[in-house]
């Protein structure tokens, strides 16, 4: 696949969705299951999107982070983690 080509899973995503998916993928507390639930993208589809939209070095850094963060998978997450994001993360009207 050429660098400018987009994977099939990306064709139906609008720019705002694509940006949000990448943001969710980078967030440590957002599990892959949340991305699957919201955007119907499993981990392999997400990897294709990240590979197509990030610089290669950024993609490698992301994969390394994902492999070392057990909270990215709900099944590996501690039962003490009960939310996906910090309550102050999405401040509206400020």
Residue 28 is assigned to a structural domain of this protein: yes
The total number of structural domains that make up the chain: 1
pLDDT score for 83: 56
CA distances from 14 to 8, 67, 86 (A): 13, 28, 26
Helix H, strand E, coil C: the string for 10-47 is: HCCCCHHHHHHHHHHHHCCCCCHHHHHHHHCCCHHHHH
| Domain carrying residue 15 | 8-73
CA 89: distance to chain centroid? 16
Nearest C-alpha neighbor of 47 from the set 29, 28, 68, 67: 67
Cβ atoms of residues 12 and 2 within 8 Å: no
Residue 48 is assigned to a structural domain of this protein: yes
> pLDDT truncated to tens, each residue of the chain (94 aa)?
445 555 566 666 788 889 999 999 998 778 888 899 899 999 999 999 999 999 999 999 999 988 876 666 666 555 665 555 555 555 554 4
pLDDT score for 18: 92
The Cα–Cα gap between 14 and 65 comes to 26
Residue 60 is assigned to a structural domain of this protein: yes
């Amino acid at each position: 696949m050429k660098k400018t080509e987009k994977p099939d899973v990306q064709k139906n995503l609008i720019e705002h969705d694509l940006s949000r998916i990448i943001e969710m993928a980078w967030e440590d507390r957002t599990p892959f299951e949340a991305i699957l639930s919201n955007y119907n993208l499993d981990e392999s589809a997400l990897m294709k999107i990240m590979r197509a939209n990030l610089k290669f070095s950024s993609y490698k850094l992301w994969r390394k982070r994902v492999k070392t963060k057990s909270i990215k998978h709900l099944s590996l997450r501690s039962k003490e983690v009960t939310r996906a994001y910090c309550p102050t993360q999405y401040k509206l009207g400020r």
